[in-house]
């Protein structure tokens, strides 16, 4: 035994959240396709892919262009998630 623990999947299904669009060579793919493809990736590719899941971007792995578009979130000037217009009671006066 080599002491290292090898997991069955390099990228887990839980790491790919809903709302994230993943494309291989311009074609949108599902979670299973990504997980199957990730079995042949190096550890460096896995780390880069996980970063792209959070921030988006594109790169090439084994000749395949991988593009990741994360879910859009609206932030205010303080970097907090913007909740939209404040909810105010229209009948309240001061």
Q: Mind giving me the DSSP string for the chain?
A: --SPPPPS-SS-GGGS-TT-EEEETTEE--HHHHHHHHTTS-HHHHHHHHHHHHH-EEEEETTEEEEEEPPP--B-TTSSBP--SPP--TT---
Provide, rounded to the nearest whole percent, the portion of the chain with pLDDT above 70.
78
- Tell me: pLDDT of 65 over 80: yes
- Tell me: pLDDT of 13 over 70: yes
Higher pLDDT, 78 or 47: 47
**pLDDT value of position 59:** 87
* 74 pLDDT tier (thresholds 50, 70, 90): low
* 2 pLDDT tier (thresholds 50, 70, 90): very low
Average pLDDT of 24-35?
A: 88
pTM, two decimals, is 0.62
């Amino acid at each position: 035994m080599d002491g290292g623990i090898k997991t069955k999947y390099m990228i887990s299904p839980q790491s790919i959240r809903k709302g994230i669009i993943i494309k291989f060579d311009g074609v949108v793919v599902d979670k299973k396709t990504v997980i199957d493809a990730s079995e042949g990736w190096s550890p460096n590719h896995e780390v880069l892919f996980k970063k792209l899941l959070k921030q988006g971007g594109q790169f090439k792995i084994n000749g395949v262009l991988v593009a990741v578009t994360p879910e859009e979130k609206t932030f205010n000037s303080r970097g907090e998630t913007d909740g939209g217009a404040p909810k105010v009671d229209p009948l309240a006066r001061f």
